[in-house]
Amino acid sequence: MSEPALELAGIAKTYNRGTAAAVAVLTGVDLSLARGEVAALVAPSGAGKSTLLHIAGLLDTADAGEVRLGGVAMSGLSDRRRTAARRAEVGFVYQFHHLLPEFTALENIELPQLANGAPRAAAAARARDLLARVGLAARAGHRPAELSGGEQQRVAFCRALANAPRLLLADEPTGNLDPATAETVFEALMAMVRETGLAALVATHNPDLARRMDRVLRLEAGRLTEG
């Protein structure tokens, strides 16, 4: 049996805010996420879901606990190796697409591959394939300002998957879209996750979308519960 794509064990995080009392955001989070599994992360605003995603994706460090990607513990890695693991193993999508405005859709998807050492021709071929999968092959040469909100977010998904990661982390990926566009983007996300077999943890305030994922995880009082 293959190792889980993501494991969190006893993750804790506290923020010290000057003279104010310390705030314990995460108090012992445990999670195992299998390849091909899509889990919804549901929590009130300020409960710590973005913090949890950043720790899972190696953008932040926990005060206690362990993050494992593909069975490999991340805590003992150097900063350089953690950065390399993040580039190779994790894709991020946010509520706002954060595409680079001066580059085309194709170039935005090429860039993370080039940063990871891919040859330019291979990066371009991978970018074109990903755009075709989300119905945007004809928009490859367009810059973000020339794309609709839904198109921009689908390009952002392609960029997140450019290096074929084992884990996709999405923070309110449809939160800035109207319902019809959100549905289109969600369907594209689910299709690409199913096709590639990666694991996905998706933070959302939309209960209808959450129910359509494989399971729902609720972050309350610093811990995760099912359902």
pTM: 0.87
Per-residue pLDDT at 20? 64
CA-closest candidate to residue 107, choices 120, 90, 92: 120
Q: How do the domains of the chain map onto residue ranges?
A: 34-62+72-226
pLDDT for the residue numbered 18: 64
pLDDT digits (tens, 9 = 90+) for 49-81: 889 999 999 989 899 999 999 888 998 888 888
User: How would you class 117 by CB atoms within 10 Å of its CB: exposed for 0-12, middle for 13-18, buried for 19 or more?
Assistant: exposed
* Spatial separation of the C-alpha atoms in residues 45 and 160, rounded to whole Å: 24
Determine what percent of the chain is predicted with pLDDT higher than 70: 97
| CATH superfamily for domain 34-62+72-226 | P-loop containing nucleotide triphosphate hydrolases (3.40.50.300)
How many C-beta atoms lie closer than 10 Å to residue 71's C-beta?
10
CB distance 70 to 89 below 8 Å:
yes
For residue range 105-120, list pLDDT tens digits in order.
999 999 999 988 899 9
Given a cut of 60, whether residue 1 has pLDDT beyond it is: no
Helix, strand, or coil (residue 97): coil
* CA nearest neighbour of 93 among 154, 35, 32: 154
Average pLDDT over residues 206-226: 89
Using one digit for the tens of pLDDT, what is the confidence trace for 149-184? 889 988 998 999 999 899 999 988 877 778 888 888
